[in-house]
Amino acid sequence: MKKTLLLISVLAISAGTAFASGTHSDGHDDMMNVGKPGTASKVDRTIEVTMKETDDGDMIFEPNNLQIKKGETIRFVILNAGELEHEFVLDGHEEIMKHKALMGRMPEMEHDDPNAVRLIEGTQGEVIWTFANSGAFEFACLIPGHYEAGMKGSIAVAAR
């Protein structure tokens, strides 16, 4: 009897794991111009990015200019040191602009995308990302008004 219960729970755990890795795998579905979700065990380096408001009324990312090499897997540790909610969205310029327009129409839109993290003030989160393509990409906060207030940054991915 005990053995049967144990077997069932093992099956349940492995089914859960399979599902989790399925949604977070690096299959073709997750591939974007900017790259794909990275694996924690394959992180090459960590980049810390702080989000905050300034005394001048700007909203910024610090740093706002990143240099990455094609193929690198980066752990972005994002800290919201401001007094408002902010987000970090990683994408190509066009995709950022489309997403921004969508957010303008639906400000309460919640996303659970692997290339983004939304943080309330005083909290920290992370995004692990593999930059599979060289080129110019961006990161931004798409909460209405924040991009215009300065919440954008550039990422240059150099070919090796």
Kindly state the smallest distance separating residue 86's Cβ from Cu ion, in Å: 3
Kindly state the smallest distance separating residue 20's Cβ from Cu ion, in Å: 29
Residues that bind Cu ion (CB under 5 A): 86, 141, 143, 146, 151
Q: Which is nearer to Cu ion, 74 or 151 (CB)?
A: 151
Q: Which is nearer to Cu ion, 73 or 80 (CB)?
A: 80
Q: Which is nearer to Cu ion, 137 or 147 (CB)?
A: 147
Kindly state the smallest distance separating residue 132's Cβ from Cu ion, in Å: 27
Q: CB neighbours of 90 closer than 8 A, spacing ≥ 6?
A: 34, 76, 115, 116, 127, 129, 137, 138, 139, 155
Residues in the chain: 160
